[in-house]
Amino acid sequence: MKNTFVTKEKIEEIAKEFPTPFHIYDEKGIRENARRLYKAFSWNKGFREYFAVKATPNPYILKVLQEEGCGVDCSSLTELMMSEACDFKGTDIMFSSNDTPPADFIKAKNLGAIINLDDFTHIEYLEKLCGLPKRICCRFNPGGHFEIETQIMDNPGEAKYGFTKEQLFEGFKILKAKGVEEFGIHAFLASNTTTNAYYPKLARILFQLAVDLKNETGADIKFINLSGGVGIAYEPDKPQNDIEVIGEGVKRAFEEILVPAGMGDVAIFTELGRYMLAPYGHLVTKCIHQKHTYKEYIGVDACACNLMRPAIYGSYHHITVLGKENEPCDHKYDVTGSLCENNDKFAVDRMLPEINIGDYLVIHDAGAHGFSMGYNYNGKLRSAELLLCEDGSVKQIRRAETPQDYFATFDFTGIFDNYDYNV
């Protein structure tokens, strides 16, 4: 069972001011979840969550997380700029990029961010470009398959990220010789995991690696970044991760591997995105058409441009028809958007209560990798983002795009200068 954090009455009231579709985020839920994470890792003195900005790049969301003690994990120039504008400073910022353009490295270096190198060749690239910082992190890729109890979780050997093990040892030696004083290691080996075993297993690999790196290179390892990948169950009948159990599992590995090696002061970092935000965002949309052909279609006013995960990954996103939470799910529908693409379906053959034109639908778990993956295909405009504040008020935290925004990059042509935008 997945519950909404807004009622039908609340959405009707909000929609008077902000027409659908829109994304709405639950400040209370975001804060409580961030506090659970910090509590689960409170055994580690230097623990810090660096929120993966790409999941929900909105300054108001970043500010909420900042107030809960989080830093930010950026991977591009504009994410760095947004973080700077939100007053994240220096080591509040992890810069975990790949195939990094020069301007991005320069900005990260100027901000004093912790640069996480994705590749061996980036050592020389960064040095020539703007010099090496005193503190640096390197991303590890062990290759092969990543397994938990013989179950294949993901395929790092096919992933473009990170140093091989040999490159990592060599890289640490070179960096040390070039004057780098403080080191971190990072790895992201499986995405959207729904087992409490992922972080503890990853931690064991990285902790042992840290001990070996220290012994062989003498590097002073200050932190280990477990990155993202702790996921959420999108389906209502699947169990959610238990962050307390995950924190305990990492603690056990820490006490078994790092503490005996005299590395008990190493800080644990995370770079969670999905886990921090996904459940606390709804995409709210309205039924505007019903179509009866070979199947029963519900046409809504949102489309894959607002949330593309179902279209590109075939992802399940739970849907609640507001006001009909307790009615039987005895109608089978495809819930579609208006793109000229047949994969523009939020649900296929979904059993839902009978839907009428004008009904509001909540598409769940859209708070991460939702709005941010949006695009403008078919000339569709990005929606507004709203924040349901802790006091129950609603704040617009990004306005909806207008046609003027869509045409703004033609501003040098004069074509739209005197265009009448009234419909």
Ligand X SMILES: *Cc1c(COP(=O)(O)O)cnc(C)c1O
- Contact between 368 and ligand X by CB under 6 A: the answer reads yes
Among 23, 48, 54, 282, binds ligand X (CB under 6 A): 54
Interface stretch with ligand X, choices 26-34, 213-221, 271-279, 343-351 (CB under 6 A): 271-279
Q: How far is the CB of 75 from ligand X (least distance, A)?
A: 6
Q: Which of residues 63-82 bind ligand X (CB under 6 A)?
A: 73, 75
Q: What does the block give as tokens for 159?
A: 């992933």
Nearer to ligand X, 135 or 139 (CB): 139
Q: How open is the CA angle 314-316-319, to the nearest 5 degrees? A: 135
In degrees rounded to 5, what are phi and psi of residue 93? -115, 125
Interface stretch with ligand X, choices 6-14, 49-57, 168-176, 336-344 (CB under 6 A): 49-57
- Contact between 271 and ligand X by CB under 6 A: the answer reads yes
- Active site annotation includes 340: yes
Give the C-alpha separation, 400 to 398, whole Å.
7
Q: What does the block give as tokens for 420?
A: 């009448």
- Contact between 229 and ligand X by CB under 6 A: the answer reads yes
- Contact between 96 and ligand X by CB under 6 A: the answer reads yes
Do 301 and 288 touch, CB atoms closer than 8 A?
A: yes
Among 23, 214, 274, 350, binds ligand X (CB under 6 A): 274
Give the C-alpha separation, 51 to 35, whole Å.
13
Among 188, 280, 333, 360, binds ligand X (CB under 6 A): 188
H/E stretch holding 286 reads: strand 281-292
Nearer to ligand X, 20 or 56 (CB): 56
Nearer to ligand X, 50 or 360 (CB): 50
C-alpha Rg value of the chain to the nearest Å? 23
Interface stretch with ligand X, choices 4-12, 38-46, 224-232, 313-321 (CB under 6 A): 224-232
Interface stretch with ligand X, choices 101-109, 260-268, 270-278, 338-346 (CB under 6 A): 270-278
Q: What does the block give as tokens for 380?
A: 């569709």
Q: How far is the CB of 41 from ligand X (least distance, A)?
A: 15
Q: What does the block give as tokens for 40?
A: 């689960």
- Contact between 122 and ligand X by CB under 6 A: the answer reads no
Q: How far is the CB of 164 from ligand X (least distance, A)?
A: 18
Which residue number is nearest to ligand X in terms of Cβ? Answer: 228
Q: How far is the CB of 6 from ligand X (least distance, A)?
A: 23
Do 302 and 371 touch, CB atoms closer than 8 A?
A: no
- Enumerate the β-bridge partners of residue 154: 146
In degrees rounded to 5, what are phi and psi of residue 200? -60, -40
Measured between its terminal Cα atoms, the distance across the chain in Å is: 42
Exposure of 45 by Cβ count < 10 A (0-12 exposed, 13-18 middle, 19+ buried)? exposed
- Contact between 191 and ligand X by CB under 6 A: the answer reads yes
Give the contact letters, 280-319, x = binds to ligand X (CB under 6 A), - = no. ----------------------------------------
- Contact between 141 and ligand X by CB under 6 A: the answer reads no
Exposure of 202 by Cβ count < 10 A (0-12 exposed, 13-18 middle, 19+ buried)? buried
Q: How far is the CB of 322 from ligand X (least distance, A)?
A: 27
Single out the catalytic residue among 130, 287, 303, 340.
340
CA 39 from centroid of its chain's CA atoms: 21
Do 6 and 22 touch, CB atoms closer than 8 A?
A: no
Among 52, 115, 187, 189, binds ligand X (CB under 6 A): 52
How many CB atoms within 10 Å of residue 43? 14
Residues of the shown chain interacting with ligand X in the complex, contacts defined by CB under 6 A: 52, 54-55, 73, 75, 96, 188, 191-192, 227-229, 271-275, 368
Active site residues: 340
